[in-house]
């Protein structure tokens, strides 16, 4: 059996832990640049605020109902996530962290005769230790445990816990889950399935395999098996190393000058390089893209990207900058209002296995030492104090974050204080 534990409205719940006055009130958390609502409290959902709605479109609802609004505070959420996972690990040693707010647990080696009780115990412990409410779903496969988790949230009587461990519990769940709510079925496949008469997960289980294979490829076939209780998605206890790493942002304001776009690309390149070094990987290719704002119909549009192979796989900021700047020179066209750029490093491999280039002119050893020192210095300050010339911090394209809460758990100065009355 597999458990899926998922934090309820995670970002909102994190904000509430340090600001209890927000309990029972409508609260939302916005995406980068304060763009869209990406987390909503139940009260905010009840007001009709949908996932991904742009903030400017719900201005009126926010004002009218006094919705509390926050910018995303990933420093806080990452740390809270780590704490939640730690508590869960004490119950289930074999786990797979699936996202910032979700974790799978392998129950097969656990001696526990009442899985429903286990689920409730976990829920209670996480709440007591971290203040974060979670839901727990238990079933035979990952796909079914996702479904059980969703079902646990829906059914009030279950109190945030659902164990689809008996045939009755399983079929009740399948019958009341819409096909579009199955993990792995997106809007495209949902439409296709419904048009062909498959409306619930129970319908889908009975679908002919060849048809699914033809219309949804092997992905669909796997999904079908998972629904039948045959595990097809492996349990990955150790995090597989990344294959790509990307850093991209929309600008706080539109940008026209090449100088400013260069600064952004340089900063994103250096961020990719740092992530690479943290992974212990080197990249073999670099990809740079640049784009205008597609929502501004009145503006001329320009989207372009370029991928450059690196002569020698590297994670050196200096090396990567050389290529990303060259890529930008090839991409940039004056006369457009740019909204976003990004840098992606691709074809990653462990830094141990680097093949030296035949005509390699760079002193790798020296570069490595330099990067190591750079990371240490910047790491100890908690921000980039030492930077490359091209980076520079120009406020013009900085993120918009007007409703940011504090780093309550990671910065001593911002720790909550308890006052005596």
Partner DNA sequence: TCTGGGGTCCTAGGACCC
Residues contributing to the site for DNA (CB under 7 A) = 31-33, 35-36, 38, 52, 54, 56, 98-102, 146, 182-190, 217-219, 240, 242-250, 254, 275, 293, 295-296, 307, 339-340, 342, 344
Q: Report the candidate in 298, 395, 389, 305 with the shortest Cα–Cα distance to residue 341.
A: 305
Provide, rounded to whole angstroms, the least separation between the CB of residue 412 and DNA: 27
Q: What gap in Å lies between CA 209 and CA 224, rounded to an integer?
A: 8
Provide, rounded to whole angstroms, the least separation between the CB of residue 166 and DNA: 25
Provide, rounded to whole angstroms, the least separation between the CB of residue 312 and DNA: 16
Taking the least distance from each CB to DNA, the nearer of 183 and 388 is 183
Taken in order 71, 77, 79, 83, the sign of the CA dihedral is positive
Q: What gap in Å lies between CA 5 and CA 18, rounded to an integer?
A: 22
- Burial level of 189, CB count in 10 A (0-12/13-18/19+)? buried
Q: What gap in Å lies between CA 157 and CA 252, rounded to an integer?
A: 45
What is the helix (H) or strand (E) element at residue 255, kind and residue range?
strand 245-255
Query: Is 14 in contact with 126 (CB distance < 8 Å)?
Result: no
Provide, rounded to whole angstroms, the least separation between the CB of residue 308 and DNA: 10
Provide, rounded to whole angstroms, the least separation between the CB of residue 244 and DNA: 4
Helices (H), ranges, 196-282: 201-205, 209-227, 258-279
Taking the least distance from each CB to DNA, the nearer of 362 and 399 is 399
Taking the least distance from each CB to DNA, the nearer of 190 and 362 is 190
Taking the least distance from each CB to DNA, the nearer of 64 and 128 is 64
Q: What gap in Å lies between CA 21 and CA 123, rounded to an integer?
A: 22
Provide, rounded to whole angstroms, the least separation between the CB of residue 248 and DNA: 3
Taking the least distance from each CB to DNA, the nearer of 24 and 393 is 393
Taking the least distance from each CB to DNA, the nearer of 158 and 342 is 342
The residue ranges of DSSP E strands in 36-194, in sequence order, are: 37-40, 68-71, 95-99, 102-106, 134-139, 161-163
């Amino acid at each position: 059996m597999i458990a899926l534990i998922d934090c309820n409205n995670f970002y909102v719940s994190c904000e509430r832990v340090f600001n209890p006055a927000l309990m029972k009130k409508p609260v939302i958390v916005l995406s980068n640049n304060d763009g869209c609502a990406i987390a909503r409290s139940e009260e905010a959902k009840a007001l009709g605020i949908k996932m991904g709605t742009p903030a400017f479109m719900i201005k009126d609802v926010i004002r009218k109902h006094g919705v509390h609004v926050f910018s995303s505070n990933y420093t806080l959420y990452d740390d809270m996530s780590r704490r939640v996972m730690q508590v869960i690990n004490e119950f289930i040693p074999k786990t797979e962290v699936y996202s910032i707010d979700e974790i799978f647990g392998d129950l097969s080696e656990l001696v526990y005769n009442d899985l429903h009780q286990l689920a409730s115990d976990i829920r209670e412990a996480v709440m007591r230790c971290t203040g974060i409410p979670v839901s727990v779903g238990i079933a035979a496969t990952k796909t079914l445990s996702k479904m059980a988790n969703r079902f646990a949230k829906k059914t009030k009587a279950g109190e945030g816990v659902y164990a689809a461990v008996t045939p009755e519990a399983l079929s009740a769940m399948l019958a009341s889950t819409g096909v579009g709510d199955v993990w792995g079925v997106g809007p495209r496949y949902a439409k296709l399935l419904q048009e062909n008469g498959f409306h619930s997960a129970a319908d889908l289980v009975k679908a002919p395999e060849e048809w699914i294979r033809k219309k949804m490829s092997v992905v669909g076939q796997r999904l079908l098996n998972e629904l039948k209780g045959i595990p097809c998605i492996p349990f990955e206890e150790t995090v597989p190393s990344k294959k790509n790493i990307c850093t991209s942002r929309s600008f706080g304001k539109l940008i026209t000058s090449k100088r400013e776009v260069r600064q952004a690309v340089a900063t994103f390149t250096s961020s990719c390089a740092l992530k690479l070094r943290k992974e212990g990987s080197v990249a073999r290719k670099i990809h740079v893209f640049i784009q205008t704002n597609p929502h501004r119909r009145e503006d001329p549009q320009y989207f372009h990207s370029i991928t450059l192979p690196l002569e020698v796989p590297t994670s050196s900021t200096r090396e990567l900058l050389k290529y990303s700047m060259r890529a930008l020179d090839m991409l940039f066209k004056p006369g457009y209002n740019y909204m976003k750029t990004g840098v992606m490093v691709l074809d990653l491999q462990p830094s141990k296995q680097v093949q030296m280039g035949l005509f390699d002119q760079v002193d790798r050893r020296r570069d490595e030492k330099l990067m190591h020192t750079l990371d240490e210095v910047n790491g100890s300050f908690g921000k980039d104090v030492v930077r490359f010339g091209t980076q520079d911090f120009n406020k013009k394209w900085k993120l918009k974050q007007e409703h940011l809460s504090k780093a309550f758990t990671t910065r001593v100065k911002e720790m909550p204080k308890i006052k005596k009355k």
